Structure 1
């Protein structure tokens, strides 16, 4: 791996660890802060809200600054607010700390996506973006199970302390290995946001918010799916999560390589098509333990394989506002997270089994596939006419 991309990957490791570990430690946090588990779940929503608000807001002030300084500043905030989460004494302050912790998330990936593409050079952009997201996948593979174990065994506050430490390590590597880059010429914020008037941009955002929502409909309920339907022992769920994380690592890199070879839009269509059938497989075959494990690996891989190509599509639709576009992509990912979990929970509330959220996921992914097909038909034709 190009060592210049390693600081971005380490930052992704920290962000992935703070975003996903909290799901496994909710009972511990709820008990310590004297709230029930559903109320503690609002801490997840607070973080997601911070991502949605912080991404475009912080990018607005970042576009006129050197990227290296921006990334350093974002990681300082990330380390500070996660450190604050480790020491706050009550639920109200924790809600504030989690919201603040989410603010740098989207902006870091927004700036990092553009920096990675500039480091790559022409023809390797998707691969370098996937290398940045490797940190996020390794978080799910190794750090989330490890930090969850530490939090359960000792105290959940160690979780936030570890995340803050990863942030500090990222700062060191950013300072040492990330090269200085020139500031690209930028204009008024109205021009920065002008990309939102493009139909091409909204196609990409909708593909992300709806198509990715299908995978979150599955992933949000993976624990009861595997324990209640597939027959996995609760004590073995850590291995299931490692399997999903391993799929994410492999899928992330393959998605970047495939995108560089056949194009981002084509890659996205292929991967969404495969996602749809993988989720359909979960619905029909989750009761068979071995098959369910294989599908967990496949769904994990497909969940991250689209990250690089969909980000390339956004950069193509916002050539004069790449950082702002990438920041809005992070907001769209979090909309997908919330929408997938909410819609996937509807059949459960109606009394259906835990394989039914994946059927909701099939429908959401199918809609994303239709939108992506429309994107290719509409905008590929426009580019050909322009030539």
Structure 2
């Protein structure tokens, strides 16, 4: 055993974060105040999108996004089985049907080859949209997905919850940051504590469409607006135009989000340094997520594959290295089996799940801690 206790992810709350929260708690607004708008504007600028809407969590963001794309009951959407359940659940919330396409066995991202095959196996109009996931922080090449979507009149929601600060370089040699809205209609980010930007809970939706932006704003707050107030109305006037939700983020969470966002560029650089050290240690010995050319991984996770997954997992836990599994394939969860997905043929996803293990990955992981993780993994393989 060791004095180390190393989780797979950890938030980093510093004095500037605490000062920002305290200042907001002492202000006139705890919610629905100026910090929310400030956070939205700074986040939109950070990812180079036109609009951003802060929400209570990323699941709420995904739900609002499918509603903003006018998903109706019975309509079908394609996503990846290797993701957190929310990427699929949002479709179910709107009464839609989820169809899973397999992953690329090296990048672990939704495979455009398998998505194309699935789309072309059905009549035109059978599917309404695609929800690709920037899994582990590795960006999906949305230029390719946009071309495919345009062929078949589909919308795209980018699940970028793992990837603020990640980007790919498109065919015009331009950096396309995750969530910038140039290829996806909408993107969603998460501010869960183990993510890059920690707000306790929280999320952000980004888009370049004014119409989508306005619809999401309306749905975020009960479907209520004051926009149609006239001189004949008093200051109390409001209209509920749609059946919306209370998916707002608070001002003190937004204050924390602003300070966390300001440190994300350095945080992503540190995550990449940690990833490079893992790669150098494991190159040629242990498989890890492939980084294609012209992609910059934001590295929410560092995933390896091992044919002794349970044994290695137990060994590392016994040494206070709290690795994790990301994820049980969504189609294998009891709910999705119950509604008819038990016979889905997703070979790459299931093979990946049988072997995957997420190692500690967070900006405050020290060299000493990472060296200990690497040493223990090497010790395991030396004995096995």
Shorter-chain TM range is under 0.3
Instruction: With the length of structure 1 as denominator, give the TM-score of the two structures.
Output: 0.26
Structure showing greater radius of gyration is 2
Between Structure 1 and Structure 2, the one with more helix by share is 1
